[in-house]
Chain A
Amino acid sequence: MIAIDLPTIWAFIIAFAVFVYVVMDGFDLGLGILFPLFPKKEDRDVIMNSVAPVWDGNETWLVLGGGGLMAAFPLAYAVLMPALYTPMIVMLLGLVFRGVAFEFRWRTTRERNRWDIAFAGGSLLATLAQGIALGAILQGIQVSGRHYAGGWWDWLTPFSILTGVALVIGYALLGSTWLVMKTEGELRDRAYQLSWLLLVAMLCAIGIVSIATPFLHVQYTHRWFAWPNIILTAPVPVAVAAVTVMLLRSLANKYDYQPFFLTLALFALSYAGLGISMYPYIVPQSITIWQAASPENSQLFMLVGVAILIPLILGYTAWAYWVFRGKVKAESGYH
């Protein structure tokens, strides 16, 4: 019998929330990143309308990730947030700009261009900051006692910039394959071309980050390459290769849905790789999930809610996506 280990369960719940956030807000942030490449007003209207009904729900997963981390692993939240101070603030401000743009750009003709820039710039900044934060966590954080002990620029390294750029590419690919799925005609053709370019760039980024990560810490190298771990870790790169082949074929065949969902699979695999590198640390090399865990009765109290509510949430979220299914038409400015 395996004993039920609450911190492990909660690590998976938080990881799940963050993953759902990454793929759901990922594509709508990606649309913001791609916005400058679609200068026509009609195209931009379609792009905006393709996510307008759901972006708010997508972003709620970020609040769950943050709030859940504070509740389930308060020590990790208390150490990570000051360590990632600047990227976090930049991300929040970026999200402010892009979030209000969804409503503001329809309320003005004269200033619409300004909010389009806010949407694109905010999305780009928020994504870059999230990627940098990821790199900063992976490369390790100075801790003393129950506090962050480093400076407020520690997060800035070549590695964190690399992960920042990689995430921008990744979200842009999610965005372009989303457009392939949700749009028609000339706009969809442009999205196809972009998907090709972005896929190549994404594969390069995955490759470089994968090669660089094991050099950060001996533990990462050990985790991935030592016997017998390699039996468990080797399937990840193999699966990445397989998904890549399928993704290339689906793009070549100009399928509607496959490119988006295969890109999601690529994200899932990269994310699993990340989990393999980090587990069981929540602050790499210094704090494990057991050290950071809040008391059992806090984790248990929330687990009841999660077990009942997350399936419900996934249910009505899926319904909302179903209601707005299908291609977004150019003339359906008023849904």
Chain B
Amino acid sequence: MFEGWDAVVLARAQFAFTMSFHIIFPAFSIGLASYLAVLEALWLWTGREVFINLFNYWLKIFAVAFGMGVVSGIVMSYQFGTNWSAFSDKTGPVIGPLMAYEVLTAFFLEAGFLGVMLFGLDRVGPKLHFFATLMVAVGTLISAFWILSANSWMQTPTGHALNAEGQFIAVDWFKVIFNPSFPYRLVHMVLAAYLTTALVVGAVGAWHLLRDPHLAGPRVMFSMAMWMATIVAPLQILAGDQHGLNTLEHQPVKIMAMEGHFQSHKDGAPLILFGWPNQAAGRMDYAIEVPKLGSLILKHSLDAPMAGLDTVPRENWPPVPITFWSFRIMVGMGLLMVGLGLLSLLMRFRGTLYNSRLLHIFAVAMAPSGFIAVLAGWITTETGRQPFTVYGLLRTVDSASPLAAPAVASSLIAFIIVYFVVFTAGVIYLLRLMAQPPHHGEEGPRSDVPARAAGITPAAGVAAEGAIR
């Protein structure tokens, strides 16, 4: 079986599959960790019980999501070696240290303080506990810093040289880490994580407000989430635009694929809204386009000339249909998020933020939009840089392990089966937790024992003070 298959294609499928599953959880937990830190800070500051209830409510959800992120992440750190050994040998000296720093500065920090964050409030008291929460939140952001630096170096490599063994080696670490696309990618991804979390939090709040608009917890979380959507979604469009201009400068072929520009345009390129990219024929079928708008957006001039894929050798073309469509899905989600933010602002000024069924239904429907946008965005950037792993320097086909197709196919099937079983169950448990509204005396993880009376936390002083207010 699988003798006729291409081992490299199977290895790529495996990477795409395991990576797509993995990114869902960090995208959520980066934002959620920061949200938890904010909730705990508000609780310590104001002493209002609603904040600790919300904290414990989302902490249970965080524990499940974080666990899934950890186990699917370990898979990633070994997959470089199992399926992409040639890549590992050649780029290990450059991106290996970046990933080692991710482990040392981020993973240990998160893991070391996670136990205290989840189970330690009784043991260490509120102040030290807040410090642990803060360390977990900071850890998720440091992790994003390093892994996005490594990915960005693969997209826009700088600061390196080649040695006699054909390995990339670092000449200037600062240039390796702060390579040209890194700052843009980092901002874009962190904002995406925050938006993803806000949309989930907002949807859960809206879901409970649809049943009872007077619930304190859902009101607070819905309002907070809608502020995030209102402010961050437009910022994200700005960040994405800047990221796109950076890509045009360093990876113009990716932009050609994203825009569907098969042909060069000497005096102003159109903006192709929709169409069917015909990769074999090298043209866009059924295109709906706005003349000259493409040049205006990308070059800020109506008549600026823009090169198309006809200037690029065929063997260097990325798969255009995937890049073109995933980009449109991401942008579409982003525009919907801006719409939700604006609608919520309108309702807020009208005083119907907690009563507008329209807004709440919209917010519930938008629950998965952050995840869809994150996945579509990553598919755009990773497909668009094909056929290279290190852009322009190392081809994907030269990066794979010397493995027989049956070995890669078997492991791919095993991953698909296991991930569907395990992560389906996980998502069901998450939805089950979210289906219950946060309540008075909400407890943290491990609350399968019968609920105790409220105020059992050793932070009883603070909680009691809150109850009096």
Contact = CB atoms under 8 A, between A and B. Distances in A.
Interface of A: 49, 52-54, 56-57, 59-60, 62-64, 66-72, 74-75, 77-82, 85-86, 88-89, 92-93, 95-97, 99-100, 102-104, 106-109, 111, 118, 146-149, 151-152, 294-295, 297-298, 301-302, 305-306, 309-310, 313, 316-317, 319-320, 323-324, 331, 333-335
Nearest to B417: A93
B80 interface: yes
Contact of B92 (A77, A103, A319): A77
A103 B86 contact: no
B71 interface: yes
A82 B401 contact: yes
Contact of B446 (A56, A86, A320, A334): A334
Contacts of B404: 151-152
Contacts of B315: none
Interface stretch (B112-120, B229-237, B318-326, B350-358): B112-120
A294 B112 contact: no
A74 B88 contact: yes
Nearest to B165: A146
A89 B81 contact: no
Interface stretch (B94-102, B258-266, B306-314): B94-102
Contact of A70 (B64, B80, B122, B445): B80
A106 B104 contact: no
A70 B119 contact: no
23 contacts: A52-B118, A53-B115, A54-B115, A56-B115, A63-B103, A64-B100, A67-B102, A70-B96, A74-B90, A77-B92, A78-B85, A78-B401, A88-B82, A95-B74, A100-B425, A103-B429, A294-B93, A295-B93, A298-B94, A301-B97, A309-B108, A333-B449, A334-B452
A9 B81 CA distance: 22
A334 B444 CA distance: 8
B81 A81 contact: yes
A75 B81 CA distance: 10
Interface residues of B, number: 80
Contact of A301 (B92, B163, B170, B419): B170
Contact of B418 (A78, A96, A109, A152): A96
Given A82-B403, A317-B112, A70 B107 contact: no
Given A70-B99, A298-B97, A320-B113, A100 B71 contact: yes
A324 B121 CA distance: 11
Contacts of A60: 103, 107-108, 111
A324 to B, nearest CB: 7
B99 A78 contact: no
Contacts of A92: 74-75, 78
B139 to A, nearest CB: 11
Q: For B110, B112, B447, which residue has the most chain A Cβ atoms within 10 angstroms?
A: B112
Nearest to A83: B85
A59 B107 CA distance: 10
A147 to B, nearest CB: 5
B86 to A, nearest CB: 7
B415 interface: yes
A100 to B, nearest CB: 6
Interface in B404-420: 404, 406-407, 411, 414-415, 418-419
A316 B111 CA distance: 10
B89 A146 contact: yes
B339 to A, nearest CB: 34
B78 A334 contact: no
A85 B403 CA distance: 9
Contacts of A79: 85
B432 interface: yes
Contact of A75 (B89, B107, B418): B89
B74 A70 contact: no
Contact of B107 (A63, A149, A320): A63
A67 B119 contact: no
A60 B178 CA distance: 26
Contacts of A309: 104-105, 108
Contacts of B402: 82, 147-149
B325 to A, nearest CB: 31
A285 B104 CA distance: 31
Contacts of B85: 77-79, 81-82, 147-148
Contacts of A86: 407, 411
Q: 6 smallest A-B Cβ distances: which pairs?
A: A74-B92, A71-B96, A81-B81, A53-B115, A78-B89, A335-B119
Nearest to B452: A334
Nearest to B418: A93
A306 B92 contact: no
Contacts of B20: none
Nearest to B426: A100
A52 B119 contact: yes
Contact of A96 (B72, B92, B115): B72
Given A66-B81, A104-B425, A74 B115 contact: no
B77 A63 contact: yes
